[in-house]
Amino acid sequence: MDFRIKGFQHCMCLILCTIYLVQCVSLYEFEKVGNFAYYIGEGDNASVIFYWFDARQECRSNGGQLVSVVSETQMNDLQKYIIDRRYANGSRFFTSGHSFHSPEPFKWDALQESVDYSKWLPGEGPKDSSFLSLQLIDSQLFMVTSLGFYEYYICEYETRQQKLCKILKTPDFYIPSVAIILAIILALKLILKNSKRKAKEDEQALVGSNDPS
Ligand SMILES: *[C@@H]1O[C@H](CO)[C@@H](O)[C@H](O)[C@H]1NC(C)=O
Ligand SMILES: *[C@@H]1O[C@H](CO)[C@@H](O)[C@H](O)[C@H]1NC(C)=O
């Protein structure tokens, strides 16, 4: 018996270690840039253009999220990072910015927050049903609207804390939670009501059986 439990524990440990190793190996190399860590993803030659949702998925499967640019410092750090890597003038990069499911002109999909800091290319600005990309023009990085077909995307490392914060912010999290809580309250009420009624019936039955008449 003892031997079997030990065997089971060893087996579980092996499985967990393997999962952990595979995760480590498959994790992309993020580079620390300022307060964040990024990598720039590219489409292969078979499909030079990347669809936004594919880019988001690719990024997530590597433990990150498409980048959200929340400050001037971050924008400048990104600009330097992109220039240092000698991307061509005019190159465009996907971010997590989109306006498809939002009444706001734009929000960062990865953070579930509105776009507060902005540096639009002159003539560009919030538009309905478009994405927000970054474009390198004459060694400066600007925000531009896009329809979702570009060859590069910037993936930002997502910490556990960010993941948790995001879950707490989504309505998809609250609606089922509230429904479950209501269901539990209703069920408890029913159980209490039933047990009260049962107690009353028992009491009556007891009184009835004690009645000599
Ligand atoms: C992709 O195509 C370009 C030209 O179309 C070529 O110069 C480059 O080497 C190709 N890259 C890969 C990874 O095959
Ligand atoms: C860089 O690209 C922009 C837009 O594509 C263009 O207007 C500009 O002239 C380019 N600059 C240089 C130095 O090629």
Nearest ligand for residue 46 CA: 1
Identity of the amino acid at 91: S
Q: Is 90 in the pocket of ligand 2 (CB under 6 A)?
A: yes
What pLDDT is attached to residue 133?
A: 93
Ligand 2 centroid to Cα of residue 198, in Å, is: 82
Greatest CA span in the chain, whole angstroms?
A: 105
pLDDT digits (tens, 9 = 90+) for 22-32: 554 445 689 88
| Distance (Å, whole) CA 191 – CA 71 | 54
What pLDDT is attached to residue 164?
A: 76
Between 159 and 42, where is the model more confident?
A: 42
- Buried-exposed string 81-100: b where 16+ CB fall within 10 A, e elsewhere: bbeeeebeeebbbbbbbbbe
| Distance (Å, whole) CA 125 – CA 61 | 30
pLDDT grade, residue 212 (50/70/90)? Answer: low
Residue 19 has pLDDT above 60, yes or no: no
pLDDT digits (tens, 9 = 90+) for 99-131: 876 666 788 989 888 899 999 999 998 887 888
Ligand 2 centroid to Cα of residue 7, in Å, is: 66
Ligand 2 pocket test target in 137, 139, 141 with most atoms within 8 Å of CB: 137
Q: Is 138 in the pocket of ligand 2 (CB under 6 A)?
A: yes
* Mean pLDDT value across residues 128-136: 90
pLDDT digits (tens, 9 = 90+) for 36-86: 899 999 866 556 566 888 889 889 988 899 999 999 999 999 999 999 999
Q: Is 171 in the pocket of ligand 2 (CB under 6 A)?
A: no
Residue 88 has pLDDT above 60, yes or no: yes
Ligand 2 pocket test target in 89, 93, 139 with most atoms within 8 Å of CB: 89
Atom 2 (ligand 2): residue with closest C-alpha?
90
Ligand 2 centroid to Cα of residue 91, in Å, is: 10
Residue 154 has pLDDT above 50, yes or no: yes
* Token pair of 12 as six digits: 């579980």
Q: Is 139 in the pocket of ligand 2 (CB under 6 A)?
A: no
Domains and CATH numbers, the chain: 27-159 (3.10.100.10)
